[in-house]
């Protein structure tokens, strides 16, 4: 018959152990125990205070598990977002490099082929009308050269290569290379009045700058001499 009572007392003690400690009650209990044991109550109270302070300090020193878990989750989330942003940047950079490679892969080859186009144009320009007159073979040969030049230009345009012929335009240092200044009173200063060699662009990049001559502009009139000047020589 005593077993249920013992079990009940055990459950009560476990419940009391889980209840928060009342400092005043604990201190009073320590003093009563000290008097019963013949110990100075002041010393017992001091020991009780030290024990309670140690327990409180230990409780404060231990971090809250929930706060630790939340901080770790926030840290992992930040790392995840940074990794996703870096992956997206790499993906965009790869797509841009792929597009540029596809657009400008023939740039070096096209730059070498510009000399072929220049030579074909020089061949056509080197024969004047007098040499072509009454010379059917020469005319037929020049027609073949011109057809070859036109076909080459067509292939250039198919790959995004366009000719720059800036005659009459304002000099653009990004597209034109001025090699000489020329007297042309009718053209404003800095206007392209002669194209020595046409330029080319591939899509939105410069392949070769056009070599041009630009106008100096109208000559500045010299100031008229003053006839009323005084001779200061003695």
Long-range contacts (CB closer than 8 Å, 24 or more residues apart) made by 207-210: 207/107, 207/110, 207/111, 207/114, 207/161, 208/111, 208/114, 209/175, 209/176, 209/177, 210/164, 210/165, 210/166, 210/175, 210/176, 210/177
Segment 11-27, tens digit of pLDDT: 444 444 444 455 566 66
Segment 153-171, tens digit of pLDDT: 999 999 999 999 999 999 9
pLDDT for 143: 92
pLDDT average, residue stretch 112-132: 89
Statement: the pTM of the whole predicted model exceeds 0.75: no
CB neighbour class for 92 (10 Å; exposed up to 12, middle 13-18, buried from 19) = exposed
- pLDDT higher than threshold 70 for residue 81: yes
pLDDT for 2: 46
CB neighbour class for 185 (10 Å; exposed up to 12, middle 13-18, buried from 19) = exposed
Tell how strand 161-164 and strand 176-182 pair up. unpaired
Residues 53/27, Cβ–Cβ less than 8 Å: no
């Amino acid at each position: 018959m005593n077993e249920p009572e013992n079990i009940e007392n055990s459950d009560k003690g476990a419940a009391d152990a889980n209840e928060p400690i009342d400092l005043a009650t604990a201190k009073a209990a320590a003093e009563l125990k000290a008097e019963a044991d013949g110990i100075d109550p002041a010393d017992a109270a001091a020991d009780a205070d030290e024990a309670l302070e140690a327990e409180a300090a230990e409780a404060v020193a231990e971090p809250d598990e929930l706060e630790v878990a939340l901080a770790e989750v926030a840290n992992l989330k930040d790392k995840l977002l940074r990794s996703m942003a870096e992956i997206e940047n790499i993906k965009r950079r790869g797509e841009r490099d792929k597009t540029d490679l596809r657009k400008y892969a023939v740039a070096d080859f096209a730059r070498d082929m510009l000399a072929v186009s220049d030579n074909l144009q020089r061949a056509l320009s080197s024969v004047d009308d007098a040499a072509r007159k009454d010379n059917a073979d020469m005319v037929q040969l020049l027609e073949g050269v011109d057809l070859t030049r036109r076909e080459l230009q067509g292939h250039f345009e198919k790959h995004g290569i366009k000719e720059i012929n800036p005659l009459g335009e304002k000099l653009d240092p990004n597209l034109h290379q001025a090699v000489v200044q020329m007297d042309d009173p009718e053209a404003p200063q800095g206007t392209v009045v002669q194209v020595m060699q046409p330029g080319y662009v591939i899509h939105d990049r410069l392949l070769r700058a056009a070599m041009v001559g630009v106008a100096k502009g109208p000559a500045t009139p010299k100031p008229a001499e003053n006839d009323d000047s005084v001779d200061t020589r003695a």
